[in-house]
Amino acid sequence: MSFRHLYLSAAVSQFGSQISYVALPLLAVTALDAGAAELGLLSSLATITVLVTGLPAGAWIDRVRKRPVMVAADLARAVLLGSLPLMWWLGGLTIWQLYLVAMLTGVGTLFFDVASHSVLPHIVGREGLTRANSLLVGTSAGMDIAGRSFAGVLVGLAGAPLAIVIDVLSYLVSALFLRRLPSPAPTPVRERLGPQVAEGVRFVVRHPVLRPIALQGAMVNIGFPLMSVLLPMIIKPAWLLGVFLAVGGAGVLAGSSLAHVMGRWLGDTRAVWLVSLTTTPAAFLVPFAEQAIWAAAAGWFVLTFRTGMNNVMLVSFRQRVTPDELQGRMNATMRLILMGAVGIGGLLAGVIGEAFGVSAALWAGTVVMALSWLPLAWSEFRQSPALTS
């Protein structure tokens, strides 16, 4: 029953979030005539704030009950996003407001995600993590497909501001589902926040398997925005961009659905790095999005298939090997690395796109993605025990 409430909350908010994923950059382009640099900065601000707040957030979340944090994050994001269509309607929307909302909603997402990942082992037990994460990741991918496709059509028919209103409503419904989620008391901590933060960082950096997982994730998360942030400038109309991005959701759904099967067939660790090796060449199709949209979409599907599988296997492994009292700090440290990389990728996309053109940014992302299998293949990850369920 507890997992059901967490699951429903995640499903509803994911649907709305994917609408804003499409609608926010399109709002910047259509209402404010944003260019490559503005789109790159807008993308990065949603994630780069993790570099400042991520580590203290993890240590603080280890000290408090998780459910109130998640509810507060949902309500705060609803208010922030709701200010955008309101100011657009009043005629006062600016690119600086978009930047501020992107930054603060990124902070809210950080607190929500770290808290939800930290509470999951308590709800399902370590033996149920792979199955629970498979369902959560698969549903998230399904919401990617539905949300992004719906957003592309909705923006084309009614405009980006109305689409963002749907996301606001999704966060409010998510908060309602969380009311019945258990909120276990945390382990009492007397240590100061600074040493707690340092302990979490050391745990990840010194771990022989968590370290390469973080490194390959950072490379992937730099590569994806380099290849995707500037797509609104070359894939038009809006509905076609929505379909292209939804193909990525289908890839994540397929990867997450088959993760458990491939783990049983090849062994979990072997499945992870072999799939990484064999799928990354598909990145070379994405730069041809303007000339051959369906070939680029096929490459996008293959890349996101890998992401779906990794999001099940590697997240479950991270949760399984981490003691309860370090869950928040481990998740925050990983979040710092992974989402900080997304922010860096977004900034690079804007800089490269402004200086050398959209195509150059796409090819830069392709190179990073094509090499992203190396950290796992050249580490102790390949010799680590199977990630049993």
Stronger pLDDT, 47 or 350, i.e. the higher one = 350
Rounded to 5°, the CA angle 77-40-334 comes to 60
Task: Give residue 388's pLDDT band: very low, low, confident or very high (50, 70, 90).
Answer: very low
Q: What SS3 class is residue 50?
A: helix
Q: Is the pLDDT of residue 163 over 50?
A: yes
Q: Is the pLDDT of residue 354 over 80?
A: yes
Whose CA is closest to 290, among 227, 345, 346? 227
What's the mean pLDDT when you consider all of the chain?
A: 81
By 3-state DSSP, what share of the chain in percent is helix, strand and coil, each rounded to 5? 85, 0, 15
Whose CA is closest to 339, among 218, 226, 258? 218
pLDDT of residue 308: 86
pTM for the structure as a whole: 0.67
CA-to-CA distance for 255 and 144, rounded, in angstroms? 14
CA-to-CA distance for 14 and 170, rounded, in angstroms? 8
CA-to-CA distance for 105 and 76, rounded, in angstroms? 8
CA torsion through residues 166, 169, 174, 177, sign: negative
pLDDT of residue 305: 92
Dump pLDDT digits (tens) for 268-304.
Answer: 777 887 888 889 899 999 999 888 899 999 999 999 9
Q: Is the pLDDT of residue 240 over 90?
A: no
CA-to-CA distance for 260 and 356, rounded, in angstroms? 42
Whose CA is closest to 141, among 298, 271, 304? 304
Task: Give residue 148's pLDDT band: very low, low, confident or very high (50, 70, 90).
Answer: low
pLDDT of residue 46: 66
pLDDT of residue 191: 61
Helix or strand holding residue 328 (H, E): helix 327-356
Give the residue-averaged pLDDT of 337-356: 85
Stronger pLDDT, 140 or 80, i.e. the higher one = 80
Give the residue-averaged pLDDT of 218-241: 86
pLDDT of residue 284: 95
Stronger pLDDT, 264 or 212, i.e. the higher one = 212
